[in-house]
A and B are shown apart, each in its own frame.
Chain A
Amino acid sequence: MLLQAHDVGWQLGEVRILQRVNFTVEPGEFVALMGRNGAGKSSLLDLIAGLRRPTDGALSFDDRPLEYWSADDLARSISHLPQMVRADVAISAEELVLMGRYPHAMGWSESDDDRQAARLAMTRCGCFEFRDRRLSSLSGGERQRVLLAACLAQEPRLLLLDEPATFLDIDQQLQCFTMLREEAARGVACIAVTHDLNLALTFCSRLVVLAGKTVAADIPVTTAAEDTTWLSLFSPRLVVSRTPSGHPWVSYA
């Protein structure tokens, strides 16, 4: 078991955001973490990334409680792509990707191995050709690929992505999720927050839906078309049909 959440709760001051969250993630799974605005998706991702400590319950990674992991140990295993990353830093794409190597090489400069890993990650994400361009000169889709490459350069076993495709055009969204599916096929576990139900149904292996401060549905994509109770957690106006190829597809009524 790569990641386990046991009765996890989180409270910000007096406001309870999450309670009694239970789920596990295995290597190679591609989990879509969904829910309406304010359901606690980003908060849960932050808890898993170690950015915040749960106020109740326990999270463990690799069967070891998260609080026993040092910051750099954790950074060698878990990579987190925040929802908003500053775009106007005056550095090149390659320099940003090399930042992903920080937990692997804490000294003054990166080694040739680090450069190699960064290059490999950039090739995989299709952004090697703009390695020398400044981050501020890239389009939204190009920048997202560079950020993803920075996460992959970290060589994580668990990838956490907070709305990786939200500001991308359709084609870039498909490319982004295709890349993530490939990473999952390599054995990396991915948890991606997304609002796009069809992207999740097409690319992910499992849906985890947060509602009422906890996990309200946790189902494999293969059964998502049969049991449709999870749909009402989003809106009463959704129906599942099947595409001509037999894939489940959510449409609006």
Chain B
Amino acid sequence: MSRDRFARRWIIGSALAFVCAAVLLPLAGPAPLDMGRVWAGEEPDWSILVHLRVTRTLLGLFGGAALALAGSLFQSMLRDALATPYTLGVSTGASLGAVVSIALGWHVVAGMPGIWAGAFIGAAAVMVLIVLAAARQRHVSVMGLLLAGIATNSVCAALILLIHGLSGMANSFAISRWLIGSLDSIEQPALLAYIATVVLMAVVIIRQARQWNLLSVGDSWAATRGARVTPLLVAGYTSGSILTAATVALTGPIGFIGLVVPHVVRTRVSADDRVLMPCSFFLGGVLLASCDAIGRVILAPADVPAGAITALIGGPYLVWLVRHRI
């Protein structure tokens, strides 16, 4: 029973941290804000806070949450503690699409920025390709998904290098910058659509937490305990990929969140996905939004990409954690 209370405290605590981050982090930035002017709705303070910092913080919170949740989902599904949202190839597919759109100079496609459109198309193509490749006689296995994902990853990565090499100076810089991953303020309708997608997928994924627990022990273990493995794997793959693809489209491939956060929660809190997934969701959001806030002020007025900060903090921390656990 005390284990349940411990777990509940962590879920509530991390949810509170998420809310606090949403309130406090917009205050951090290169230019000081006068709260009196913001309150009175005076420019430019009001616009800086609401249009730039709040949207950017929310993107960081939900982006980090999406990546950490997708990471924990893929780790359970693939029974591999080193799986990340990027293991199954969707993000490289999205990156390839984005890089193509940068190289071809698509600025606006169907009313949205060309990079997003490219990323969505790339991700969707890869998703369909991988499920078809992994399915054998209408039966999908973990091994099949993993192999198809890794193969797709390397093909897409090679194509990205190729396009990168063939592009001119300006495009090449834009591609490198995009591939590091960073947060930018985006239009409110796009942000709302993104948040709705993340919340919906999170509900779909976390509701099936007990089935992810079963899968983390084994395919046939899950099947003989009443889980329907093939539909479950396809649902997990699709929802995890939608989370990843939407996030990568808006922010570029931000590393380490999807690996570090679930790993810390698993060793420190619980490996039960009913606890692990909600905690990873909230703490992943807090971590990415905080890294972005640090990146805004650390070399101000220069803006250090959040992807660089997460890697700089996440990498050494992971090594430290591994050394102190064993």
Binding site for B on A (CB under 8 A): 46, 49-51, 71-72, 74-76, 78-80, 82, 84-86, 89-92, 95-96, 99-100, 102-103, 106, 108-109, 154
Contacts and interface: CB of A to CB of B under 8 A. Distances in A.
A76 B226 contact: yes
B224 A91 contact: no
Contacts of B267: 90
Contacts of B228: 71
B217 A71 contact: no
A95 B217 CA distance: 11
A91 B270 CA distance: 8
9 contacts: A50-B223, A51-B223, A79-B224, A85-B221, A89-B217, A89-B271, A100-B225, A106-B210, A108-B209
A14 to B, nearest CB: 14
A49 B220 contact: yes
B260 to A, nearest CB: 16
Nearest to B224: A80
Given A86-B217, A89-B217, A71 B226 contact: yes
Contact of A108 (B214, B227, B274): B274
B216 interface: yes
B218 A108 contact: no
B221 A103 contact: no
A161 to B, nearest CB: 12
Nearest to A52: B139
Interface residues of B, number: 23
A82 B15 CA distance: 38
A90 B264 CA distance: 12
A80 B220 contact: yes
B225 A95 contact: no
A60 B210 CA distance: 29
Contacts of A90: 266-267, 271
Nearest to B223: A51
Contact of B225 (A46, A91, A102): A102
B224 A102 contact: no
Contact of A103 (B79, B218, B226): B226
B213 A99 contact: yes
A80 B223 CA distance: 9
Interface string B260-291: 00000011000110100000000000000000
B227 A71 contact: yes
Chain B at the A interface: SS class: helix
A46 B207 CA distance: 29
Contact of A75 (B3, B216, B225): B225
Nearest 10 CB-CB pairings of A with B: A75-B226, A72-B226, A103-B226, A90-B271, A80-B224, A102-B225, A82-B220, A91-B271, A71-B226, A49-B224
Contacts, number: 71
Contacts of A95: 213, 272
Contacts of B226: 71-72, 74-76, 102-103, 106
Contacts of A75: 224-226
A102 B218 CA distance: 14
Nearest to A101: B225
Contacts of A46: 220
B79 A86 contact: yes
B139 to A, nearest CB: 9
A79 B226 CA distance: 10
Contacts of A103: 225-226
Interface in B57-78: none
Contacts of A74: 224, 226
Contacts of A108: 207, 209-210, 274
A53 B218 CA distance: 19
Interface string B179-220: 000000000000000000000000000010110011011101
B143 to A, nearest CB: 14
Contact of B218 (A50, A78, A85, A154): A85
Given A71-B226, A71-B227, A72-B226, A51 B220 contact: yes
Given A89-B271, A90-B267, A102-B227, 7 more contacts: A71-B226, A79-B224, A85-B218, A85-B221, A86-B79, A86-B216, A91-B272
A43 to B, nearest CB: 12
A109 B274 contact: yes
Nearest to B79: A86
A86 B76 CA distance: 12
A99 B218 CA distance: 12
A141 to B, nearest CB: 19
Nearest to A115: B1
Nearest to B276: A90
Interface in B145-188: none
B234 to A, nearest CB: 15
Given A50-B224, A75-B224, A91-B271, A86 B218 contact: yes
A119 to B, nearest CB: 13
B214 A85 contact: no
Nearest to A100: B225
Contacts of B216: 86, 89
A154 B225 CA distance: 8
B98 to A, nearest CB: 35
A49 B229 CA distance: 14
